[in-house]
Amino acid sequence: MDQKALVIIGTILTIIFGLLASLIAWFAGGKDLQGPARDAIRQMFNFELTYLILAIVLGWIPLIGLLLILILWIVNIVFAIKAFQAANNNTEVKVPCFNMIK
């Protein structure tokens, strides 16, 4: 796969498919990329993993947890778009997440 397709899969498609999209992009060749494209895919994978953990924990809180999960989903959309734009502009992106994959 080419770099542009991997960046689209690893960033924008995480809005719909979540962790699965960034996981596919990472294993399809994201770990072999260099520069901002690799960093964007890695950051989104780490963010999606952090998001999944937070969603599971917050899901146990009635009512307020659902509201917080909705807010996290909106934040997910914002950071996916920011990561995509940063990868296309060859700039570095910082996403608030636990760095599980370095």
> What is the model's pTM?
0.81
Counted residue by residue, the chain has a size of 102
Interval 74-93: pLDDT, tens: 988 998 888 888 888 888 87
Distances (CA, A) of 36 to 22, 42, 54, 94, 98: 15, 10, 26, 11, 18
Rounded to an integer, the average pLDDT of 25-31 is: 81
Structural domain boundaries in the chain: 3-88
Q: Quick one: pLDDT at residue 1?
A: 67
Radius of gyration of the chain (CA): 13
Interval 41-76: pLDDT, tens: 888 888 889 888 888 888 888 888 889 888 988 988
Tokens of 76: 């997910």
Q: Quick one: pLDDT at residue 74?
A: 92
